[in-house]
Amino acid sequence: MPHATSGGPGRIAGDGSVTAHAPAKINVHLAVGPLRSDGFHELTTVYLAVSLLDSVTAWPDDGLSVTVTGEGADGAVPTDSRNLVWQAAELLARHAGVRADAALHIDKSIPAAAGLAGGSADAAATLVALDALWGTRCTRGQLARLAAQLGSDVPFSLVGGVALGTGRGEELSPSLSRRRTDWVLGIAGAGLSTPTVYRELDRLRAVGRLPGGSTAGPPDDVLTYLRDGPDATLSGLLANDLQAPALELRPELRAGLAAMTGAGALGAVVSGSGPTVVGLAEDADAATATAGALSDGGAFRAVRTVHGPVPGARLAG
């Protein structure tokens, strides 16, 4: 497998490859408004990019191909045109008027269908890597517009840090983010499909088992506390309108949330459409201790400690 080892001009390695990394996201706050006429929901979300990174390596080839190692390499992640990296490559090629010629290798640490925007991270990394490989010299603004065509979370995967997302989540207002926060990710055995979770939310609202609109409240305090703390206050503000439908579809996630706080997290919430449970830790040592306690318990398939904010998609080296 070609490996980017040098950081020279354009970050093209000796074997002609380019590697880019992009982070997982968690939704510290996710308010889901009503269904729009275009089939999407109006969102207000606070995104946080965390230190769990996928990498995409691109090198010259005839035509497109995709290979995967790591999380989801057992078949959960497609290697054809259904893969977002494939779609990102075709979109950039069309935009720039070049041939979509590249072999793309994804090394995944971000679990698939986990509510962590793994596919979006890969798409953002692909835009950055291929822009360098193909010399298409897109501005960050152009890449952001392409990202928004690929998926609601892809613009944030490109930008990283902390941002308020509105619209489908693709309209971003980056926020000041001096403060580091530490988190524990509890990763479930099987993924959840994002459209299924939204449909379940609509159903629960339609039958009156949930209020018709968001119950997450405004995001302002979350943004303030991500900027200057304290964490203990932030734990009371974690909110996600998709948690109720995710719990309806996966009742065992209740035990996961309880296990997370039982193991010492200050607060716990489902990330995005789930099923990953994120726990807020007081600091890095507390996150390690919580993760250690959870790995003995069996509530999750895997447990990871991460911190945020981290930058968005960028070239390696």
From the list 25, 107, 122, 231, the catalytic residue is 25
Pick the catalytic residue from 107, 122, 153, 182: 153
Q: Among residues 93 and 121, whose Cβ is nearest to ligand ATP? A: 121
Q: What share of the chain is helix, strand, coil (3-state, %, to 5)?
A: 35, 30, 40
Is 291 annotated as belonging to a binding site?
no
118 annotated ligand-binding residue = yes
Residue number, nearest CB to ligand ATP: 119
Strand ranges, E, within the chain? 18-35, 41-59, 64-70, 102-108, 162-166, 171-174, 181-187, 239-240, 267-270, 277-281, 302-308, 314-315
Q: Binding site annotation covers 112?
A: yes
Among residues 121 and 315, whose Cβ is nearest to ligand ATP? Answer: 121
Confirm whether residue 117 is marked as ligand binding: yes
Positions touching ligand ATP (CB under 6 A) are 72, 76-78, 82-85, 106, 112-120, 122, 153, 191, 194, 272-273
Q: Please, what's the b/e burial string for 70-102 (b: 16 or more CB within 10 A of its CB; e: otherwise)?
A: ebbeeeebbbeeebbbbbbbebbbebbeeebeb
**In the 8-state DSSP scheme, what is residue 101?**
-
In this complex, which beta carbon is closest to ligand ATP, that of residue 157 or of residue 290?
Answer: 157
User: Smallest gap, in angstroms, from Cβ of residue 307 to ligand ATP?
Assistant: 19
> Please, what is the minimum distance in Å from the beta carbon of residue 106 to ligand ATP?
6
Q: Report in angstroms how near the CB of residue 258 gets to ligand ATP at its nearest.
A: 22
Residue 107: strand, helix, or coil? strand
108 is catalytic: no
Rounded distance between C-alpha atoms, residue 158 and residue 147, angstroms: 8
What would you measure as the largest C-alpha separation in the chain, in angstroms? Answer: 61
Indicate if 25 belongs to the active site.
Answer: yes
Tell me if 114 is assigned to a ligand binding site. Answer: yes
Q: Which residues are annotated as a binding site?
A: 111-121
Q: Which residues are catalytic?
A: 25, 153
Q: Which residues are annotated as a binding site for ATP?
A: 111-121
